[in-house]
Structure 1
C-alpha cells in the first residue's frame, strides 16, 4: 500500500470537504466516492494501483474529516451530487470519471445519468441503485423518519476506551470488513474525546430516509447512463444478496464482472485490491 497520498481540504461554496489525492497532477481526472459511514481511506489500497490517474478520494459530507451539513439539514443521497460537481469545479474539470463503492457507486450513477455531459466513465464496486420504496409505503416511511429525527437529540455516540474496541465495533457494522480494513477506516473515522474515542461521522447519517425513489425511478437513472459503465460484483457482497440482482442487469449497458470477496473486497486485502485494479486499470485509463 503506497504512502504517496496528499491530504487536502476543499472549500466549496456551501461546505468544506476533506480528500486524499493520488497520482500525477496531469493524470486522467477521477473522483472516488466511498460507501455509507466509510471515508476516503476506503481507497487506500486500490488508488495506488491505478497508474496515470489523478484520483480525488473524498470524505463525503458528514464523513471522515469533512464538515457536517448545517443544523436543520439532512443527507438525502441526491444532495451529494452537488458536492461532487463543486469538487470538479474546484479542480477545473469539465469532464471526469467516477469510481464509486456501495453508496458512492449509487451517487455516481445518479450523477452520470443526470449530467451525462460531465461524466466520462463509471467504475462501480458492489453498488448500483439505492434501496427503493413504493408509493403505498411512503406514509409509513416518512413517519418512521420523523420519529427518528425527534429522538436523535437524546442519543449519544458510543465512546470506546481504546482504539481497538472501536475497530471491533466496525467489524460488527454494516458491510463486513477485514480487520485491516476496519483499522484503516477507523484511523480516519475516529476522533479523541474525554474517555477515549468516538466516530467523526454525523449522527444524522444513521437516520432512516424520509423519502425513497421507487424501483422505476431508480432504474430510469441506470437506463439513462450514456458513458461506459463497469461494475464489479463481490461474490460475498451485498448485490448478490439481493433477489434476482443479476436479472436486473439484463438489457442494460453495464459490463459486469464477479470477483471473490466481500462487500469491501477492494479494501479488505492486497489480493482483492489487485483484482479490482486489474478490472479498472485499462477501463479508466481510456476515459
Structure 2
C-alpha cells in the first residue's frame, strides 16, 4: 500500500532529527516512534492504513537519517523522551497521541506517564516497559558500560559487500524481520562506504546501558498512564512469550489485543499491517 509521504527535518536546540509526515494537515496529530536500531520506515506499511491521522514518524537520534548525538552525550531512554517532547513543540502540537513500537513504545509510555496533560492516546506495538535491573546490580552494570565506552574507539561497524547481504543480516538480527521489512529498513538505514555498505546508526547505540530502571520504576510509569491506551501484542513477539508477562498487565487500564505474527508484525507483511490498523483505527476514532 502506497501513500504520499513528506520528508522533513526538525531542528531541535541540540540536534537535527529526520521524519516522515503522513496524512492530512488537519488530521489528529500523532508522533510515531520506532524500535531500537530501526528507523521511520518501520511505519511505512502501517501509517498509510491509518486515515485521518497526521503522523510524524521520527528517526530517533542516532538512527536513520537523524543526526548522531554530540561526543559525550548519551542515548538513554529519558533523552529520547525529551527529544519527542521538543519535536511536538516544534510542530506546534500542544496535545498529541503516540504510536510506538518496541523501544518506541517504552518511550511513549514514559512520556505519557510524565506529561499526562500533553498526550491524547497511546497506541503501542509489542512494547511496554524497558529491561529492568535491581539496585544491587547497579555497580556491576555501570562498570560494564564504562569498559565498553573505553573500548568504543576500536569498535568497527560491519561492512557488507552489497545491499542484499546487509538485508540478510538484518533479517537475522535482534527482533528478526521478514525480507520485505529488512529491505524497507535498509532503504533508510544503509549508507555507502569503502568496500560496500554499512548502517547509519551510531555505534554508541549498541553500548550497554550504564543504569537501568528497577522493576518498581518501570511499573510506576506504566501505572501512571492516564490517557486511553491500547497494546497490540504479537503471538511470537518479545512480550507475549515472556514468563509472567500477564501479571504485569494486572492493574493497568490498557486495552490489549493479541495478533498473529512476530515482533515486527506491523512491518513484516501487508496482512500484519492491516491487522494492526484494524485495531488502531477504531481506537483513534473514539470521541
Q: Same fold (TM over 0.5)?
A: yes
* 1:137 lines up with 2:130 in the alignment: no
| Residue in 2 that maps onto 1:100 | 100
TM-score, normalization: structure 1?
A: 0.99
Task: Tell me by how many angstroms 1:90 deviates.
Answer: 1.1
For residues 68 and 3 of structure 2, the distance between their equivalents in structure 1, rounded to whole angstroms, comes to: 27
| Residue in 2 that maps onto 1:163 | 163
| Residue in 1 that maps onto 2:36 | 36
SS in 2 for 1:176: coil
2:96, 2:118 within 8 Å by CA — same for their partners in 1?
Answer: yes
TM-score, normalization: structure 2?
A: 0.99
Task: Tell me by how many angstroms 1:13 deviates.
Answer: 1.1
1:234, 1:265 within 8 Å by CA — same for their partners in 2?
Answer: yes
| Residue in 1 that maps onto 2:255 | 255
Task: Tell me by how many angstroms 1:273 deviates.
Answer: 0.1
Task: Tell me by how many angstroms 1:241 deviates.
Answer: 2.3
For residues 174 and 164 of structure 1, the distance between their equivalents in structure 2, rounded to whole angstroms, comes to: 18
| Residue in 1 that maps onto 2:89 | 89
Bigger drift between 247-256 and 99-108 goes to 247-256
1:28, 1:285 within 8 Å by CA — same for their partners in 2?
Answer: no
Structure 1, unaligned runs of 5 or more? none
2:223, 2:251 within 8 Å by CA — same for their partners in 1?
Answer: no
1:96, 1:118 within 8 Å by CA — same for their partners in 2?
Answer: yes
| Residue in 1 that maps onto 2:23 | 23
SS in 2 for 1:31: strand
| Residue in 2 that maps onto 1:211 | 211
Q: Deviations over 1:166-188 (max 9, x none)?
A: 00110111001001000100111
SS in 2 for 1:120: strand
Q: Deviations over 1:114-145 (max 9, x none)?
A: 00000000000000000000011111111111
In the TM superposition, 1:1-287 aligns within 5 A as 1-286=1-286
Structure 2, unaligned runs of 5 or more? none
For residues 161 and 224 of structure 1, the distance between their equivalents in structure 2, rounded to whole angstroms, comes to: 48
Task: Tell me by how many angstroms 1:3 deviates.
Answer: 3.8
SS in 2 for 1:57: strand
Aligned residues: 287
Runs of 4+ in 1 over 6 A off after TM superposition: none
For residues 120 and 164 of structure 1, the distance between their equivalents in structure 2, rounded to whole angstroms, comes to: 41
For residues 167 and 3 of structure 1, the distance between their equivalents in structure 2, rounded to whole angstroms, comes to: 24
Q: Deviations over 1:57-91 (max 9, x none)?
A: 00000000000000011101110111111111111
For residues 252 and 82 of structure 1, the distance between their equivalents in structure 2, rounded to whole angstroms, comes to: 24
Task: Tell me by how many angstroms 1:267 deviates.
Answer: 0.1
2:235, 2:259 within 8 Å by CA — same for their partners in 1?
Answer: yes
Bigger drift between 251-260 and 35-44 goes to 251-260
SS in 2 for 1:153: helix
SS in 2 for 1:201: coil
SS in 2 for 1:10: strand
Give the alignment's Cα RMSD to 1 decimal: 0.8
